[in-house]
Amino acid sequence: PPLAVISGEVHGSIGGEHDFPPPPGDPPPNGGPRLLSHPTQIVPVEGADVVARPLVQDPRIATFVEVHYPTRTDADGRYRIELPADVPYLVQAWAAGWEPQYYDHAWGVFEARPVDVAHGHETSSINFDLYQGYKPPDLGVISGVVFRPVDNEPTTGSNDPALIYPCSGAVVRVRLNGPSFGGFDRVVMTGEDGAFRVDGLPLAADGSMTYIVSAESEHDLPAYFPDVTTWEESTPVAPEPPGQDSPIRIVLPARGADGPYFVVGVVRGDLGSGVPPPVEIQPWPGDDIAPGIVDSSDVPWFPLIGAYLYLVPADDPTAGPVAGGVTCDNGTLVIAHLAAGRYKAYADMPGFRTGWFHGESRAEAAVLTVGAGGEPRLIDIVLDTAYPPPGPGGGGTDAAEPSMVVGLHNSPNPFRPQTTIQYRLMAPTDVSVQVYDLHGRLVRSLVESARQPAGEQFLPWDGRDDAGTMASGGVYFYRVWTPVETRTGKMVMVR
């Protein structure tokens, strides 16, 4: 196809007054991140991953196709991407130790500004100003290589180099092996040699803090290490100290036969009673993603980002997946290039139980007919949390290890006029603790990016805001932020 060019620079702001991502209900202006105030230094970010994704033109689908054009910045922070013309793109940049960002200074896909391109022209100055989500100390490293099959040869467990080759531009996700509920998700892309490296991973001295590692590419099926398609079958990986990392290997399974059809999927999560969602609950997308499809579930619309959805042959109970994809920022995805046939669908995401479409198991799942005689359908799957219900106030329990923050609660609850927020840290880490009202407005900052040791922590709150004024009675939320995850709890002040 006719080609165009997107180019720009990626810089990072260092120093100054640090501000964290906003709580639910308190988004920053125009959906953009809150930048550092008066940064002491602005530096080019070398080796940052930059990816451009084309927007879907079908108005029925409020998401983008999982096709992407990746590159990395040079020593001066510059990048350049050649891609098909006359299609708008969403462009995103990220790097280890820096907060991801969509163009133009946006947190999520809905606030991103599309970039228009034209045949034979270069759209320049698509620049990014990243800021440090936290200052990563000398922590752990997970590295490895992602391979893909040659000509769709079966690859599961294959050690034959003639059947696989390095997969460049694959997306690798590293997620805490525990009930972080979306609080920790590091994403990098592989280089031309298929290699990846994730630095600055918090670790525990006894090796108990592990991570679920997975990879995906537009041409193959997503897979977890080591080459499995459900996270509970995967082998958790413990980070190694810098300079001692032992690379792992992921071989992506081959897709089945291609065809002209597609399906639309939605994956959402049910965290269970008493768990405050880490993001604002979203309304049902309705006709935006599938005309005439109504929400028949009583589960609040909580989209799961980075969930995998797979299709398996309906008439072969032992066959593995033949198609699949990953959900984007609104929990939706498109699985394109499908051959006609009968399928069953399941979704999978670390921290949640594997869920089948309209059934409790593969045998009970509904059959999807794609192609002649089949009506387009929305694959809507709700995943239940894989961990026990939390303790008082919506926090975790000791049984929920290995989360970084466990046993989160406040006592007394309800209270008048003072309460104490309590939690235990599994390892030394930077911590911020804030109190918000029912509308998501910041009331009191109890801790601001302070280093806390491992063990029990006790933070009293006297019921006053940052100005020293006594807060009114009602429901309040407290948020405990660490580089690994964000946990929340609910408390009630009575007057």
Judge whether residue 37 has pLDDT over 70.
Answer: no
- 377 lies in the same domain as 262: yes
CB 225 within 8 A of CB 211: no
- 417 lies in the same domain as 310: no
> What average pLDDT does range 28-43 have in this prediction?
51
Instruction: Give me the pLDDT at residue 15, please.
Output: 59
- 163 lies in the same domain as 215: yes
- 262 lies in the same domain as 247: no
Backbone phi, then psi, for 411, in 5-degree steps? -145, 135
The tens digit of pLDDT for each residue in 344-401 reads 999 999 888 899 998 889 999 999 888 876 665 678 888 887 765 433 333 443 333 4
Instruction: Give me the pLDDT at residue 41, please.
Output: 73
Residue 198: pLDDT band (50, 70, 90) is: confident
- 408 lies in the same domain as 308: no
Instruction: Give me the pLDDT at residue 271, please.
Output: 56
The tens digit of pLDDT for each residue in 439-489 reads 667 899 999 888 888 778 888 998 989 888 888 888 788 888 887 777 888
- 53 lies in the same domain as 144: no
Instruction: Give me the pLDDT at residue 393, please.
Output: 36
Judge whether residue 55 has pLDDT over 70.
Answer: yes
Most confident listed range (1-5, 199-203, 325-329): 325-329
Which of 384, 417, 444 is a domain's end point? 384
Instruction: Give me the pLDDT at residue 279, please.
Output: 38
- 275 lies in the same domain as 375: yes
pLDDT higher for 38 or 434?
434
Q: Which residue has the tokens 């510059």?
A: 78
> What average pLDDT does range 269-297 have in this prediction?
48
- 294 lies in the same domain as 231: no
Stretch among 223-232, 271-280, 345-354, 450-459 having the lowest mean pLDDT: 271-280
- 467: domain CATH number? 2.60.40.1930
- 36: domain CATH number? 2.60.40.1120
HSE of 385, CA atoms in CB hemisphere, 13 A: 21
Most confident listed range (181-190, 298-307, 346-355): 346-355
- 176: domain CATH number? 2.60.40.10
Q: If you count them, how many residues does the chain have?
A: 495
- 293 lies in the same domain as 399: no
The tens digit of pLDDT for each residue in 235-257 reads 999 888 877 778 899 999 988 88
Strands (E), 323-453: 323-326, 332-338, 341-348, 355-356, 368-370, 378-384, 405-411, 419-425, 429-437, 442-452
Most confident listed range (40-54, 234-248, 311-325, 480-494): 311-325
Residue 164: pLDDT band (50, 70, 90) is: confident
Which of 72, 96, 131 is a domain's end point? 131
- 152 lies in the same domain as 194: yes
- 99 lies in the same domain as 39: yes
pLDDT higher for 278 or 465?
465
> What average pLDDT does range 278-302 have in this prediction?
49
CA dihedral 67, 72, 78, 82 (to 10 degrees): -40
Which of 108, 131, 154 is a domain's end point? 131
Distance between CA atoms of residues 479 and 485, nearest Å: 10
Exposed (0-12), middle (13-18) or buried (19+): which is 350, by Cβ within 10 Å? buried
- DSSP structure string for 119-172: TT-EE----EEEE-SS---S-EEEEEEEEEESTT---TT---TTTEEE-TT-EE
CB 466 within 8 A of CB 443: yes
Residue 423: pLDDT band (50, 70, 90) is: confident
Angle at CA 468, nearest 5°, toward 465 and 472? 50
CB 311 within 8 A of CB 320: no
> What average pLDDT does range 15-27 have in this prediction?
43
Work out the number of other CB atoms within 10 angstroms of the CB of residue 247: 13
- 224 lies in the same domain as 160: yes
Judge whether residue 179 has pLDDT over 90.
Answer: no
Instruction: Give me the pLDDT at residue 1, please.
Output: 58
Instruction: Give me the pLDDT at residue 152, please.
Output: 53
Q: What percent of the chain has pLDDT over 70?
A: 72
What's this model's pTM, rounded to 2 decimal places?
0.58
Could you tell me the residue range of the domain that residue 161 belongs to? 140-251
Number of domains in the chain: 4
Average pLDDT value for the chain: 76
